[in-house]
Amino acid sequence: MAGETWKTIQERWRHHRLQMIGIALVAALIAWACERTGVLESTEHIAYDEALVRYTGGREKSQQVVVVAIDQSTLDRISQDPQLQLNFGNWPYTRTLWARIAQEMKAAGARAVLFDAVMDERTADESADLGFAQVLRETGLPFYVGMASSGTAKPLARADFTAPVPLKAPEPAPTPEPPGDTFPEEFEDAAAPATPVLTDQALARALAFPARWTDGKALPRLGDTPSRKASPPRYPVPPTPALVGAVNGVGLVDMEADGDGSIRRTAFAYTDGTNTYVTLPVRMMADLLGAKEVTLSGRTLRLGERTWRVNDDGSAALDYGGPLEERFKTVLLFDVLDDWIRRSKGREPGLAADTFRDKVVVIGGTAVGLNDIKATPFSPMQPGLVKQATVVDTLLSGAFITRAPEGVDLGLTFLVALVSAVLLMTARWTMLEVVWPLALVQGLFVLTGLLLKTTHTHVLMAMPALAGVGASVGALAFNHLVANRETQFIRQAFHRFMEPKLVEQMIRSRQLPRLDGENKEITAFFSDIRGFSTFSERFKEDPRQLVRILNTYLTAVSGALLREGGCLDKYIGDAVVCLFGAPMAQEDHAVRACRGALAAKAAVEALRVDFREKGFPDVYTRIGVNSAVNFVGNFGSDQLFSYTAIGDGMNLAARLEGANKAYGSVIMIGPRTYELAREHIEVRELDRVRVAGKTEAVTVYELLALRGQLDASTRQTVARYHQALGLYREARFAEAAAVLEAEAARSPEDGPTGKLLERCREYLESLPENFDGVANLEK
């Protein structure tokens, strides 16, 4: 059964492979067009997010990055403490607070601080800005702040990184007064320098950072996002002048969200058409790695001696590894401030000594009221600083997620479409047609998820899934079209040779025949009119009458066979060839053939009576029935072909029909037919015969009646025949003849009795050489 199924699949591929490839190609092209036009963007985002969460989430906390959170409790506790509110005010706090935080970070051994916010507005008390700048210079703590871009910002001069940075002389500034008397020694700063007045070149040098493509590609423009290009030109908004020269570096903190507002990717460098700028994490890492520029080459980002794999356009997806609270140790800003107060009073800090030691500290807002809540694949409500922390952690020791080359996406898309088309168009299993699209989508989800986890590669899922489903729909449509054509062909081809209700049943049950041929066990029926040549001589002067008689005979025999579910193969003159078990599968094909043979015999007997009354010659039919595996299908030429069977089984059925003459029988059946139908029929074992061209002898039987319908007289005749046959096979011809003579006197019309008696008398006179009780059945 499995072998036949595999053969069927191979033949369907051979006959329809061009259609399969065509369906797959069309489905792949449609999916590609949908992906290119953005139709699948939302679906791809959903699939990517789900795979990212399921397959890359749950990673352990970073050992290199610590988050200091400006949370709601920090805002509440500062606002509820009169002294702290007097010193630092309400949100946004004076720069004095950040000076204290910087001092504490230095004391706690932080490696660097990345402040995920912008400080581009001058405060009312400029001395606070100057004091903060002075603290940064004194501590030497690597401190980096963000900058935004705006369409209303002033364009900067072109930065010349080869020339010295010119600064105008600072103007004198008043010494700031202590903000309160709680911590007089700590809060009293020395006379702060005046606010420096930067030249245009100095400001450009402070904000810009060298970045380039080595292969001539263009960097994205400020304001561009992964999903759209910015229309109006944008320029960076610098921090307050007091901080420009005090912080170690400034970097972009624009949102970089996809079209649905979720942050999945980042670009590392931008341009405003004049200068190049890098994102805040890249600016900090450039200093930590000693890099003087950012270079992009092919799919590689380079900072100093370190490289990371990125996309062709210089961007990369973020490997979050989980939500913020699971990936990074988070310390409240108030706890850091409290530790500074403790240190200033000579007390031990409350936080563990190694909390910040040798760590990169990312400071940012987590409170909802700070309006820095963003969407990521792991949550629609994540603090925006999770992006900066993730990029920093990846740059320190990790890998970004990059898109697979377009060729890989297209190859997978076509492969999925082709597999879908081939599978459904060759197998044609209803259950597979239902299950396959679901299994396909789930399989692609697992595949893309595992690739994300193991190789940090994002292979598109929506495009191949659409191609696979589209190819499946195309394959089903083709199958139904082919099935309709096959159904129509079957109906036209067989309605004259089978009972119409059986044809429709075959079509409804989808038992459509293999018209290109298959090996199948069937039962073949052959019948012929005895002495038809003599019969036709009577009508040589009136051939039309002969045709009418012959048509009447063939109609009677054919009707009996069709009622038993037979398929008329052909008429050869007066001969009728019929198949049982093909094209429609019939488990009881042997029984049906035997019933059909008996019914045909009865129909001919009725015709003989009618013909005698009309003065027509007698018609006497001989029938051969044999079951065997034959090759059935359409045979013929381009001009004419028909559904038939070929094989030794068919040859034996024809021989059995002719052998009736030698045995005086009417219906002779082969051994396999008897084996399959023995519980339903009454037979007489006629002889063991050897067919011409074969060495093995087979037992042949005369079909007499259906089980239980044999009259007592015939039963006695059969018993005497079997007794004589046993004596005959032992070469006791005289004894066999005696039994047969007695039975012939009682039943003179029994043909097999008379024929065996003749053979016994013949062998009494001349015994053949090497007699083995087997008769040779010649052609």
Which run of H or of E encompasses 364? strand 360-365
In 3D space, the residue among 463, 426, 461, 425 whose CA is nearest the CA of residue 445 turns out to be 461
Is 410's pLDDT higher than 60? yes
Is 170's pLDDT higher than 50? no
Three-state DSSP class for 169? coil
pLDDT bucket at 65, cuts 50 / 70 / 90: very high
Task: Determine the residue type at 150.
Answer: S
Three-class SS of 478-513? HHHHHHHHHHHHHHHHHCCCCCHHHHHHHHHCCCCC
Q: 105-139: per-residue pLDDT in tens?
A: 999 999 999 999 999 887 777 888 999 999 999 99
Domain enclosing residue 131, as ranges: 51-402
What mean pLDDT comes out for the span 170-177? 45
Domain closes at, from 347, 377, 402: 402
Q: How many angstroms from the chain centroid is the CA of residue 397?
A: 35
Q: What was the pLDDT predicted at 456? A: 97
Q: 489-519: per-residue pLDDT in tens?
A: 666 655 555 556 555 555 554 555 555 678 8
Residue 751 within any structural domain of the chain: no
Number of domain units in the chain: 3
* Percentage, residues of the chain above pLDDT 90: 69
- Is residue 145 located within the same domain as residue 55? yes
Cα radius of gyration (the chain) = 49
* Percentage, residues of the chain above pLDDT 70: 88
- Is residue 32 located within the same domain as residue 81? no
Q: 599-642: per-residue pLDDT in tens?
A: 999 999 999 888 888 878 778 899 999 999 999 887 766 556 67
- Is residue 357 located within the same domain as residue 471? no
Q: 357-375: per-residue pLDDT in tens?
A: 999 999 999 999 898 999 9
**Bridge partners for 522 per DSSP:** 628
Is 24's pLDDT higher than 60? yes
Is 747's pLDDT higher than 60? yes
Residue 529 within any structural domain of the chain: yes
* Mean model confidence pLDDT for the chain: 88
Residue 683 within any structural domain of the chain: no
Query: Tokens 């090759």 belong to which residue?
Result: 631
- Is residue 530 located within the same domain as residue 424? no
Residue 588 within any structural domain of the chain: yes
Q: Is-contact 167 306, C-beta < 8 A? A: no
- Is residue 436 located within the same domain as residue 541? no
pLDDT bucket at 573, cuts 50 / 70 / 90: confident
- Is residue 330 located within the same domain as residue 427? no
Q: What was the pLDDT predicted at 701? A: 97
Query: Tokens 């210079």 belong to which residue?
Result: 137
- Is residue 466 located within the same domain as residue 556? no
- Is residue 354 located within the same domain as residue 470? no
Domain closes at, from 669, 704, 736: 669
Sheet holding 211-213, edge to edge: 211-213, 294-297, 300-303, 306-309
pLDDT bucket at 197, cuts 50 / 70 / 90: confident
Residue 729 within any structural domain of the chain: no
Is 680's pLDDT higher than 50? yes
Cis ω for the linkage preceding 178 (within 30 of 0): no
618-635 b/e with 16+ CB inside 10 Å = b? ebbbbbbbbbbebebbee
Residue 600 within any structural domain of the chain: yes
DSSP state of 343: H
- Is residue 243 located within the same domain as residue 194? yes
Dihedral sign from CA coordinates of 74, 80, 82, 86 = positive
Residue 761 within any structural domain of the chain: no
Q: What is the CATH number of the domain that holds 624?
A: 3.30.70.1230
- Is residue 564 located within the same domain as residue 482? no
Q: 692-719: per-residue pLDDT in tens?
A: 767 788 999 999 999 999 999 999 999 9
Return the structure tokens found at 709.
């319908």
Integer CA distances (angstroms), 497 to 373, 567, 579, 629, in order: 77, 5, 10, 21
Q: Long-range contacts for 432-436 (Cβ within 8 Å, ≥24 apart)?
A: 433/472, 433/476, 433/479, 436/472
Three-class SS of 430-450? HHHHHHHHHHHHHHHHHHHHH
- Is residue 417 located within the same domain as residue 548? no
- Is residue 372 located within the same domain as residue 223? yes
End-to-end, the C-alpha distance of the chain in Å comes to 35
Higher-pLDDT residue of 288, 163 = 288
Domain closes at, from 402, 420, 436: 402
What mean pLDDT comes out for the span 529-552? 79
**Bridge partners for 656 per DSSP:** none
Residue 125 within any structural domain of the chain: yes
Q: What was the pLDDT predicted at 518? A: 80
Q: What was the pLDDT predicted at 205? A: 94
- The pTM of the full predicted model, rounded to 2 decimals, is 0.68
